[in-house]
Structure formats: C-alpha cells, structure tokens
Structure 1
Amino acid sequence: MNKASGFTLVELMVVVGIIAIMAVLAFPSFSQQIMQDRVVTTANQLNSVYKFARSEAVKRDSDVKLVVSGKKWQVKAPVDGVETLLREFAISHQGIDVSLVDRTIMSTGEVSLASTILVKDNNEKTTDYYLCVLKSGQNWLAEKSTGCA
C-alpha cells in the first residue's frame, strides 16, 4: 500500500480556525498598544523640540522663543537680526491633543515661566503624559496620574 503524506482539508480548516480565533482575541490589545504608542511618540517629540530650543538658546547666547502657531510649536531665534524659524513641532497623529504654550528660553537655559504641557488622546485606556518644565529650564516627562510634583 502506498500511503500519501500530508494534511487533510479538515485538519487544515481546524488550524485556520484556531489562528482566526487567536487573532480576534489579540486585536483589541494590539490596537490599544498602537494608541498608547502614539501618545508616547508625541510626548517624546515634544520633549525633543523643547531640549533643542534650550540647547540653541545656550549655544547662541541669546533668547529663543517657543511660539504656538495653530497646532504647531515653533522654535524661533534671531539670526543676523531677523527672527528665524529653527525647528517646528507638529502633532503627527490624529486624535492627539497637546496644550502648547508660548515661552521664552533665555541664554542661561532658564524659561520665562514654568510649564505643565499635557499630551492626551481622550481615551481612558491609554496613559496621558505631561511635559514638565521648571523655571530653571529643567524638564522631564511624567505620567498624568503622577503629575509634575
């Protein structure tokens, strides 16, 4: 007798069914991870732009302005007597809100006013973040639940 090796159609359908069930169970967790990643990415980009502005103020030995323009945060500094746009932060993901504020970073690295800038996505299942900035210019990211204290 010559017996053929392989899978039957029933065996193949059972495996495909199991994979489909596992995919359906994993999808909510995966989509939540994507939403959380968008909030974290936006907070990190905001932090990066702030650090850039602070380093430029110290490097140039002149005041650098963080200016809110629509939903963008622009880093502006005087170059040859003309206020020039050095870098810009724009929210890259839909559904993310950032409470941007105008600030001036002095040549010493200090800031005109302390700030607590919230990065959120209006979803209770994700963690929102604050960009905490002291008047001294020091900054860090903190989860909304812990705050900037």
Structure 2
Amino acid sequence: MISVDYGARWPIRFEPFPSDEVPELYDELIAFVGRQIVIGTWCGMDDVKRCKLIEKITIEFCKETSPKKTYGVGQAMVRGGIIEAIDIYGGGGTEWLSKYGSYRSNQSNITAESSPCEMKPAVSTRFNTARRSPRSSYASSRQ
C-alpha cells in the first residue's frame, strides 16, 4: 500500500487492483479511465493535479459502479486500477507512483521534503469584515 499526502484533508492510498478476482470490473475501469483521461494532458500535469484527478475519477467510478458493495473492492484498490489503466494507455502511471514507494512494501508515508506532491497548499490570508446582510440593511432603511 502507498499513501500519498498531497494537501487534501486525508492522504490518498493506493493498493493493487484485484484484476484476477474481478476481471469484469477491471475491464470496466480500464474503459472508464480511457474515457476520462487524455494522456497528453496527464503527462503535462504536476503531482498535485495528478492526485486530484485520480481522486476525482475514483469518486466518479465508485458512484457509477459501487465496487465496494458489489465486489468488495475499495477506493484504494480502484486508485491502483486507475494507475494500471494509465499505464495501459501509455501515461506511465506506475512509474510516476513508484517514486512514492511500492505496492508490495509496507505503508509508505511521504513527507513534504521528498516530493512536491506532498506540500500543503499555501493558506491564503483573508480579512473578514463584518457585513450586513441585504435584509438587515433594507429593514433599517424602512424605519
């Protein structure tokens, strides 16, 4: 299992997809990824954008197919299948993910120093000013 913290609330985990156990779901995932990802765009993305795209595709695929309920395949395995599908389409998904660890090794926690994918986005400082709602300003002008 690989765990990647790319700045979201929780890190995303990747596990190998059980393609031998559920080949019909694997084929459906490969086709789904082929419809969702343009490999040329994938290759030009930075690590954070890649992580966000993988997470988005995972959520959409899980909403469409319910793999956990139907086959017992969780989101971490679906993410692993997405990486394999990107490889099939020539995007080098496994090569990209291998810099964070190996599926077969123990859990790998990535630190901010080791990858730009790990950096938390800068928190913007914004000053909140007290504003009246339009309703309260209207009510006060009517008096």
- TM norm structure 1: 0.26
- Mark the structure with the bigger radius of gyration: 1
Task: Determine which structure has greater relative contact order: mean sequence separation of CA pairs < 8 Å that are 6+ residues apart, divided by chain length.
Answer: 2
- TM norm structure 2: 0.26
